[in-house]
Amino acid sequence: MGVAKYIKNEKDEVQEVILQSGIHIKPLYNKKDLEEIGFDPEKDLAPPGEYPFTRGIHPLGYRSREWTTRQYTGFGTPKETNERFKLMISHGQTGLNVAFDLPTQMGLDSDDPQAEGEVGRVGMAVDSLRDFEVAFQGIPLDRIGAGLTINAVASIMLTMFQATAEKYGFKKDRVSATPQNDILKEMIGRGAWIFPVKPAVRLIGDTIEYAMKELPRTNPVSVCGYHIRESGCSPVQEIAYAFQIANAYIEEVLRRGHPIDDFVRGFTFNLNVFGNLWEQVAKFRAARKLWAINLKERYGAKDSRSLLLRGIFGGGGYGMTKAQPENNIIRGAYYALAAALGGAQTTALCSFDEAYTIPTPRAALLSLRTFQILMEEIGLRDTVDPLAGSYFIETLTKQMEQKIVEEMKKIDEMGGMIKAVETGYVQKEVARQAYEFEKGVQKGELIKVGVNKYTEGEEMEVELHEYRQESVVEQVQRLQEVKRERDNRKVLQLLKDLESAARTEKNLMPYLLDCCKAYATVGEMTKVFKEVYGEFKEPSIF
Amino acid sequence: MEKRIRILVAKPGLDGHDRGAKVVAQALRDGGMEVIYTGLHQTIDQIINTAIQEDVDVIGLSIMSGAHLPICEKLAKEMKKKKIDDMMVVVGGVIPKRDIPKLKEIGIEGIFPGGTPFDESIQWIKKHVKTR
């Protein structure tokens, strides 16, 4: 979808190109542009795998290791989701990315009145460890890492994952989970928050601290510029806000006395790929460099592994359109190309039918095939950072870098990301831009093929994923079964222990692990936290 | 002077995708309406209470999760109970075409799937609303 403004003259010649980040693209770039912007090949373009990593975090890029593919998957019951996981793996997918339904994301059990109509709808329902056991049954967890798209209750889900892996005989230091676990971005966009900012950030600190000691292959936090961009911000802000969110989590762990090099390797990023191709590629290159500088200069990281920006670059949801949905297959291919040219470690794509429905198997497989074609047919594995040295790309990378630094400074001046979210500054900025963007689309200043240009009138029919009411019944039955079969006295005691611990500064993960193993439900554990911490109140932004 | 239309923009249920709701709220305001935005995770009861307290003419729901049918059914039922079923209800979000007749049956008057031009929804509301 077009996100750059094109100003043309009467002869249809392009006079001006203005990227979403506000950068004007010139019709021609040459050596002089690099000189003017202060490009220094020594400092800016060290070889891949060397500081500042503009060209990539591995010396050989995709030659040494192809990207991990991780389509966002989950619906209905854990059993249905398990079947879809296995389907995707059998077709060559190399990682998982679990979608949870909204009640689970909000810490409600499937039989909660507030969960009505939502159980298993946009992801799989999880009430207790039993559900995780079903969802991951038969999955080689020592080979296949699992992204868990969960935030407010990520601490609970990470202990569920550990308990499940151990139950199936995998050692906890051999399995790799990536819970999303980024609550500040939920408060800016996406909205699946429960607890107030400070306790919510404390829980993230607990997961990072715990993973550092107990789950060394786990990435306890995946900081998401992705959703903030989906909510309306520019690519520059996407990176600036993501980094400042990451800094807030870093400071939470530093405050507990851990040296930066002991934990920051577990940080990963989730970044978006829709929009102008060049702007995205330059964004990823600039981001890698700035993350390394941020770690080295702001936090004094010494271990070179601490400096690496690793991430899932993918999705592209907001670029996809409901009109002429098959166009999204083509868009997805270009978005995945942007991710590959940007050096993504992991990727995923929104499927072409996602503006309508949970992806059908055919749609999900098309996304997977897109990645496979890029890596195995088109040549994206051939050489690392293929666009390096281009007058245009290097100039744009520098420009993006400078703008990201400026945006980060604004947040610093406000006292950091926690303050910027509590006061609603970021939310307001994002909502304002979303409105401007939409006006641009409706006026035809921003082109969306099939939406405001080359339209075809009649809407296309898309095969819809069916929401099965029976899944809800099955899910609630299993929950009741679990509650009947477990040792309820033990569960009550463990929940009490959790509550007492939550009132102190103790790390809560061991308590959660005990609760999970005793089949306490997500709703029960969340209720304990709600009682101790209360709930987040959105700042008014209108 | 013509009375300004008061509209409640509400996010019912658990879904937190509020880009659309916030964008539409700004557009309705620029379109001359008084807009009250509920914020996220509202129960039907909370929405109805706010609508009564704020004495709005229109309730606008933004639903992206696919749960528009059960949510709208529940809202219509509760509005009847509270005797405010003369209030206009409109819905926007991810709404498949095949669900539009069902929503109309439930009593949802205006249905604006994602991408509906601001002007179209604003004019529709202005034309059909009965200010209270």
* DSSP string for residues in A307-370: G---EEEEB-GGG--SSSTTHHHHHHHHHHHHHHHTT-SEE-B--TTTTTSSPPHHHHHHHHHH
Q: Which residues of A touch B41 (CB under 8 A)?
A: 106, 191
Write the burial class of residue A522 (CB in 10 Å: 0-12 exposed, 13-18 middle, 19+ buried). buried
Testing the interface with B: which of A193, A442, A461 to mutate, by most B Cβ within 10 A? A442
- Residue A205: give the domain boundaries: 6-443
pLDDT by residue (tens digit) across A167-204? 999 999 999 999 999 999 999 999 999 999 999 999 99
Q: Which residues of A touch B12 (CB under 8 A)?
A: none
Question: Of A233, A151, A149, whose CA–CA distance to A186 is shortest?
Answer: A151
Question: Mean per-residue pLDDT for A250-274?
Answer: 98
Q: What is the pLDDT of residue A464?
A: 79
Question: Of A341, A361, A355, whose CA–CA distance to A448 is shortest?
Answer: A355
Question: Mean per-residue pLDDT for A484-512?
Answer: 98
Domain residue limits, chain B: 6-128
Length of chain B in terms of residues written: 132
CB within 8 Å: A191 and B17: yes
In a domain, A120, yes or no: yes
| CATH number for region B6-128 | 3.40.50.280
Q: State how far the Cα of B36 lies from the Cα of B42, in Å rounded to an integer.
A: 13
In a domain, A291, yes or no: yes
In a domain, A306, yes or no: yes
pLDDT-based confidence at A540, cuts 50/70/90?
confident
d(CA B105, nearest CA chain A) in Å: 19
Alpha helices by DSSP H, A223-310: 226-231, 235-254, 260-263, 277-293
Q: In this complex, is the C-beta atom of B45 within 8 Å of any C-beta atom belonging to chain A?
A: no
**β-strand pairing of B6-10 with B34-37:** parallel
The whole-model pTM stands at: 0.96
Whether the CA torsion A520, A525, A528, A530 is positive or negative: it is negative
In a domain, A466, yes or no: no
**Could you tell me if A207 and A159 are in contact, meaning their C-beta atoms sit under 8 angstroms apart?**
no
CB within 8 Å: A115 and B14: yes
Testing the interface with A: which of B7, B11, B15, B74 to mutate, by most A Cβ within 10 A? B15
Residues near A13 by Cβ (< 8 Å), separated by ≥ 6?
A: none
Please determine, for the modelled complex, whether the ipTM score is greater than 0.85. Answer: yes
Q: Which residues of A touch B66 (CB under 8 A)?
A: 121-122, 357-358, 467
In a domain, A181, yes or no: yes
Q: State how far the Cα of A59 lies from the Cα of B108, in Å rounded to an integer.
A: 59
When computed from its CA atoms, the radius of gyration of chain B, rounded to whole angstroms, is 13
Longest CA pairwise span in chain B (Å):
41
Question: Mean per-residue pLDDT for A202-229?
Answer: 98
pLDDT by residue (tens digit) across A281-290? 999 999 999 9
Instruction: Give the CA dihedral B119, B122, B127, B128, nearest 10 degrees.
Output: 140
Q: What is the pLDDT of residue B1?
A: 56
CB within 8 Å: B40 and A191: yes
A161/A356: higher pLDDT = A161
Q: What is the pLDDT of residue A514?
A: 98
**β-strand pairing of A24-25 with A14-18:** antiparallel
pLDDT by residue (tens digit) across A102-155? 999 999 999 999 998 899 999 999 999 999 999 999 999 999 999 999 999 999
pLDDT at A84 over 90: yes
Total domain count for chain A? 1
Consecutive H or E run containing A491: helix A488-502
d(CA B84, nearest CA chain A) in Å: 23
Question: Mean per-residue pLDDT for A324-341?
Answer: 97
Question: Of A27, A49, A31, A26, whose CA–CA distance to A41 is shortest?
Answer: A31
* Beta bridge partners of residue B117, listed in sequence order: none
Question: Of B98, B86, B75, whose CA–CA distance to B131 is shortest?
Answer: B86
Whether the CA torsion A96, A100, A106, A108 is positive or negative: it is negative
Of A122, A231, A232, nearest to B65 by CB-CB distance is A122
**Could you tell me if A328 and A352 are in contact, meaning their C-beta atoms sit under 8 angstroms apart?**
yes
Q: What are phi and psi of A17, to 5 degrees?
A: -125, 120
Q: At what angle do helices B118-128 and B19-30 cross, to 10 degrees?
A: 60
In a domain, A474, yes or no: no
In a domain, A366, yes or no: yes
d(CA A103, nearest CA chain B) in Å: 7
Q: In this complex, is the C-beta atom of A476 within 8 Å of any C-beta atom belonging to chain B?
A: no
Question: Mean per-residue pLDDT for B25-38?
Answer: 97
**Could you tell me if A464 and A358 are in contact, meaning their C-beta atoms sit under 8 angstroms apart?**
no
pLDDT at A1 over 70: no
- CATH number for A222: 3.20.20.240
Above pLDDT 90, what percent of chain B? 86
Only one residue has tokens 């799989």, namely A124
In a domain, A453, yes or no: no
**Could you tell me if A416 and A247 are in contact, meaning their C-beta atoms sit under 8 angstroms apart?**
yes
Consecutive H or E run containing A270: strand A267-272
pLDDT at A542 over 90: no
**Could you tell me if A306 and A260 are in contact, meaning their C-beta atoms sit under 8 angstroms apart?**
yes
Query: How far does chain B reach from its first CA to its final CA, in angstroms?
Result: 15
pLDDT-based confidence at A3, cuts 50/70/90?
confident
Whether the CA torsion A162, A165, A166, A170 is positive or negative: it is negative
Q: State how far the Cα of B119 lies from the Cα of A450, in Å rounded to an integer.
A: 19
| A175's tokens | 């399995």
Question: Of A314, A307, A316, A265, whose CA–CA distance to A289 is shortest?
Answer: A307
Of B66, B69, B117, nearest to A442 by CB-CB distance is B117
Q: What is the pLDDT of residue A243?
A: 98
